[in-house]
Structure formats: structure tokens, C-alpha cells
Structure 1
């Protein structure tokens, strides 16, 4: 039998993947249990709050992973690296995966939407931190980070829907051009 933390992590990873691809309501409890590779009793042992608890924790995990990736990519290659990585995720997944939070953002409970909002806020903070490191005034950096995040999220939605990375590449080119006027 797998250790408790390994089983719990399998549930979180499976949920993060399923919610990213399908959303909250389209992902059933039996599908989550099956993908987690453990019996239903084990699911409830690890997540006594049920599907909503699992979803909230999966959102936090996915959001944190994306924040780390975003920060790393910004620090090593700027916005071109971020756009390239997001295009790669889209293309390698056959356009099933875009933003890890978008499909679940609007169809969950208030608690779940709150978890999504917290993670999106952490991504905006990562972009703001990147910009302020280049001495962009903090209020301006926050404004630009909101614009960048909203643009990328919209482009991911279009790219996923149209099954074409062109919207993401276009938004990336726009962001790079726009932000080059703000940072050296």
C-alpha cells in the first residue's frame, strides 16, 4: 500500500490535471477516485471535505507551480520565455491544457473561486516583482502586470478554443514590445 502522502499527492496531481482539462463540474468524483488510483474510502480519508476540498488544494498546488515557473522564466528569459513555455504546453497537450486555473475559475464555489483569485494574485505579484526589479514605479508595475496577466489569460483561452497558438504569440509580441518601453 502506498504511503499516505504519496496517495494524497496522486489525488492532487490527478485532480489538477482533470480540472485543468475539464473544469470542476465536468469532473466526477468517481473519475477523480479512479485517476487517483486508490479506493473511495482513501479519497475521503485524505480529503474529508470531499471534491471541493480536493479542488481547492489542487488549485493551490497548480497555482504555486505556475507562479514558480513564471518567476523562473521571467528571471531567466523575460516574457519571451514565458510565452514560449505556454505555447509549448498548449501544443504538447493538443490544446487541452492552457491556464491550470481557467476551467475551474468560474464553475466552483465561493471558496474555490477565492483559491483561484489568490493564485492569480500571486502570479500578478510575480510579474510586478519582475517589473519593479527593473525600477518600474510600483503602481505602474502593478498596472502593467494586471494588463499582462489579463492579456495572457485571454490569449490562452483563444488559443485553446481555436486550437492555434497564434493568439498567444500575438499577445506575446505585443507585451514584449510594450514592456520594452518600460524596462531596459
Structure 2
């Protein structure tokens, strides 16, 4: 009774593989050439597919690809609840700092997200990220983790801008991202020193390898899951 399902399952797996190959190729080309510079034919060739396969998955061309890459990469995947809400604020940026050293798609997503026409073309995730950080900081404030007078929304803007600017500057100056995890950890330490309650600050883990450890543990749990699908 189960035998007829196998061909469809294989087709589904091939379709997922083709979609991922296209997104990976697009990520590399968006990173190298930007949104306008990445030609559809180049993406198709690098992905090893054809126009039919490409437009089956992305009928809107580069626009659909940009949206898909942003949705797939700029995520909170790997973030775990912590006793301190400020630790979650730090972990959010630490995980992304690790992932951006490993994933061309995430590096492409960062460039796509700050493009001058991003908001009106394919959208930008930064308003959502500011909302996430605002919610985290508001809860931290409710728990007494923040100094008096701190405004969560204002600090959320500071964090988002500091993270993106630091990553881009680090790559521009060094030509690589080998040091970005250490720099992001120092950035959060400096920011938290200004806003965290003095009794809370010593309890926050600013280790440069924290994002790496959290995300690696998440992938291990995901691979061990029968469905392979965890958040």
C-alpha cells in the first residue's frame, strides 16, 4: 500500500533539492554582485538547472528569490529561552554572527536587507527585528534586568544598527569575517554595560563562541529529530 507513494516522495525531495540549489546559487551571486547585478541566466547556470525548473520555483524571478532568501536566512533559528531575557537579546545577535561566517545566503540577505530600495522592492526584515528586540527588552525591563530610564524601542534600534554596521564594517576593513564573532560579543558587552542593571550584567554570557555553541547544538538536535524539523 505504501509503494505508490515512493515516486512522489522522490519527486518532492528532488524539488526541494532543486529549490535549495537555486537559492544557494542566488545567495552567492547576490553576495558578489548585488541584487541588480545577479543575472537570472547566471543563477540558473550556477545552480545546474534550467529555466523551467527555475521559474517553477520562483515565477517572479529575482524578486521571489530575494524574498525567499530573506525569509530563510534572517531567522531566530537556534535561539533558546533563557532565564535572563537580556541573554536572549545577546544570543540573537551572537547566533547570527556565527551563521554569517558560514552561510553565503545569510551574507547575501544582509546586503539585500540594507539595499536602498529594499523596502519598496522585496521588503526588509529590520522592522521585524527591531520589534523582536523591543519585545525582548520590554520583558527584560519588566523583570528588572534594565537600568532605570532605558527605553526599549530606542535601544532596539541601537542594537539592530550596531550589529549590521559592525558586520559590514568588519568585512570591509578586513576583507573577511574571521573576527566578527569576537567583535559582536564585545559590541553586546559595551551596549549591555550601558543599559543592564548592575546586578544583572555579570550574569550575562558574552563568550565569543556562544553563538557557535548554541547553533551547533540546535543543528545536532535537529538532525537527531525523527522529522529533522525543529526551531
Shorter-chain TM-score above 0.5:
yes
Q: CA deviation at 1:17?
A: 4.7
**1:40 alignment partner, one of 38, 48, 51:** 51
Query: Secondary structure of 1:106's match?
Result: coil
Aligned length: 173
Equivalent residue of 2:136, what SS? Answer: helix
Instruction: Encode CA deviations 1:87-137: one digit per residue, 9 max, x unaligned.
Output: 4345557xx78755331231656222xx21xx1122112212211222169
Higher radius of gyration, 1 or 2: 2
Pairwise CA RMSD: 3.4
Of 179, 182, 187, 1:171 maps to 187
Q: Which one has a larger percent helix, Structure 1 or Structure 2?
A: 1
In 2, Cα distance between the equivalents of 1:183 and 1:143?
Answer: 22
CA distance in 2, matches of 1:126, 1:183: 24
Question: How far 1:40 moved relative to its partner?
Answer: 1.8
For residues 99 and 198 of structure 2, what CA distance do their matches in structure 1 show?
28
> Would you say 1:102 and 2:110 are equivalent positions?
yes
Candidates 139, 154, 173, aligned match of 1:133: 139
Q: Which residue in 1 is equivalent to 2:77? A: 68
Per-residue displacement from partner, 1:46-65 (whole Å, max 9, x unpaired)? 222212222222222223xx
Aligned to 2:64: 53
Unaligned runs of 5+ in 1: none
**Matching residue of 2:121:** 111
Unaligned runs of 5+ in 2: 1-9, 201-231
